[in-house]
Every structure is written in C-alpha cells, then in structure tokens.
C-alpha cells in the first residue's frame, strides 16, 4: 500500500512539474507589420516562419497592421512586441505613450527589424524623438537602393542572441541603411557590417556600421536587427537562428 501511495505521489509530482514547465515556457507575442509597400513580401514570409516557430515552440502570436489598438491595456497581454518592418512614425498618440511605458518600465521585450530605424521626417510626419534616442540617438541618412551582399561580423559572441552563430556570416542583397552617426556610443553593439565586403562596392558607407544592437539604458530586453528587407532572408539558417534566439531572449525565456 505504501508503495502505491508513493508511486501515486511521484506521478502527481511529475505531472505538476510538466504542467509548471509548460506554463513557464508559454507566452504571447504581438507582431506589428507593414500592410503595404515593398516590404510586404518580407512580412508575408515572416508570418509563415513565425507561425511555424510558434506552433513548434509553444508560444502564441497575434498580428496587427497599424497601431490603432495599441494602448497600455492592450500591450499588457503580451510578453514580447515585434516591430516587424514597421516604421517609427504615424503611430497614434496613445500607442506612442503605451509603447514608451512598455519599454521604459520593462513590461515586456521588444525586437525591431529594418524599417524600425527609418527615423526622420517622412510622409509629413515629424520624427519621434524618443524612438531616435532609444535607437542610439540616430536619424536615417541613406541606403543602398541597388542592394549589396556583405559580411556581418559578430562583436559580442557572449550575447544570447548570438548563441550558435558563427563569428561572421553573409547577408545577401540588403539595403544597408546609413545614419547620421554610429549609434555605438549610446547602445551595446552586438554585430556590425564590414563595408569593405560590399558586393558590388559603392559610395554609400558610414565607417563604423553597427547592424545588431541593444539599448541597455531601458528596463525592457530589446534588440534591433537591421537585416529585414528581403523574404529570401528566411532561406538563410543563420538569420533564422538569430531571429529565434532574439525571440526567446527578449521574452525572458
């Protein structure tokens, strides 16, 4: 009888532990993505990729195409906010306030891609100064409209987002934004592009050129990943690994 009771208690403990582990790994993700323009193909491919990762990994993901729904109550439902190729302008006032609080108070994590550093005056909208500061006090300057393939060098291999990533890797056919200055003095740089590796070569360069970084001056876990123009990026296993690592690190998992 004692053995039966012991076996039953052991079974209950194991089941409880599995349930607890399952609940600790589950989290909700919000992805804000562009609903038009030439980045829409990247967003479409990203959705397919993210949906599979979510199904395989036990988190859930919701998508929105504008900031109309965003307020503090809405963001409180999500452990992670992915700004999936969505520019930092034309947000509603309540979304701006809610997002700033979300980041400054560490209410969740954030990953920004590519278009998230399109900082300046665009389409008649003023620059979001807070976001510029968040991204390292930079503004957008130029980009390689004809695209270039280049080598990205990892600078902080100890960062969890770079786990399993080689010291350098190739990104094909990217726009490689330049800014008015390097964000390096104001952020922690994780990877940078080697401009001398551009193929084809060109004149649109900025010298010190970070492409993956995190701002350690706010409470939220955050990471900006510049590469995010072409849907073909999801054919690159290194890119997929960086994206996956970023999700679980920024979500605190």
- Give, for all 253 residues of the chain, the pLDDT tens digit: 444 333 333 343 333 333 333 344 689 999 999 876 677 899 999 999 999 999 999 999 999 999 999 999 999 999 999 999 899 999 999 999 999 999 999 999 999 999 999 999 999 999 999 999 999 999 999 999 999 999 999 999 999 999 999 999 999 999 999 999 999 999 999 999 999 999 999 999 999 999 999 999 999 999 999 999 999 999 999 999 999 999 999 999 8
Cα–Cα distance for residue pair 217/137, rounded to 1 Å: 12
Cα–Cα distance for residue pair 135/160, rounded to 1 Å: 20
Buried b / exposed e across 185-196, counting CB within 10 Å, b at 16+?
Answer: ebbbbbbbbebe
Phi, psi of 212 (to 5 degrees): -135, 125
Q: Is the CB of residue 117 less than 8 Å from the CB of residue 154?
A: no
The CATH architecture one would assign to domain 27-250 is 3-Layer(aba) Sandwich (3.40)
Strands 148-154 and 80-84 turn out to be unpaired
Cα–Cα distance for residue pair 167/155, rounded to 1 Å: 8
Task: HSE, CB side, 13 Å, CA atoms: give it for residue 37.
Answer: 13
């Amino acid at each position: 009888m004692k053995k039966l009771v012991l076996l039953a208690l052991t079974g209950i403990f194991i089941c409880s532990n599995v349930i607890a582990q399952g609940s600790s790994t589950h989290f909700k993700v919000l992805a804000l993505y562009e609903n038009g323009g030439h980045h829409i193909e990247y967003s479409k491919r990203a959705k397919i990729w993210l949906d599979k990762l979510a199904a395989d990994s036990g988190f859930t993901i919701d998508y929105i195409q504008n900031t109309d729904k965003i307020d503090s109550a809405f963001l409180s439902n999500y452990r992670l906010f992915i700004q999936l190729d969505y520019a930092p302008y034309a947000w509603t006032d309540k979304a701006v306030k809610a997002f700033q609080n979300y980041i400054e108070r560490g209410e969740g994590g954030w990953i920004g891609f590519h278009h998230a550093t399109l900082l300046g005056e665009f389409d008649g909208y003023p620059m979001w100064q807070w976001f510029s500061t968040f991204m390292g006090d930079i503004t957008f300057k130029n980009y390689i409209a004809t695209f270039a393939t280049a080598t990205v060098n990892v600078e902080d291999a100890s960062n969890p987002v770079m786990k399993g990533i080689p010291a350098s890797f190739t990104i094909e056919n990217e726009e490689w934004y330049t800014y008015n200055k390097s964000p390096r003095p104001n952020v922690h740089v994780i990877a940078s592009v080697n401009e001398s590796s551009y193929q084809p070569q060109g004149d649109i360069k900025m010298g010190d050129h970070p492409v993956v970084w995190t701002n350690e001056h706010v409470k939220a876990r955050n990471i900006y990943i510049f590469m995010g123009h072409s849907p073909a990026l999801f054919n690159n296993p290194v890119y997929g690994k960086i994206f996956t690592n970023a999700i679980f690190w920024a979500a605190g998992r």
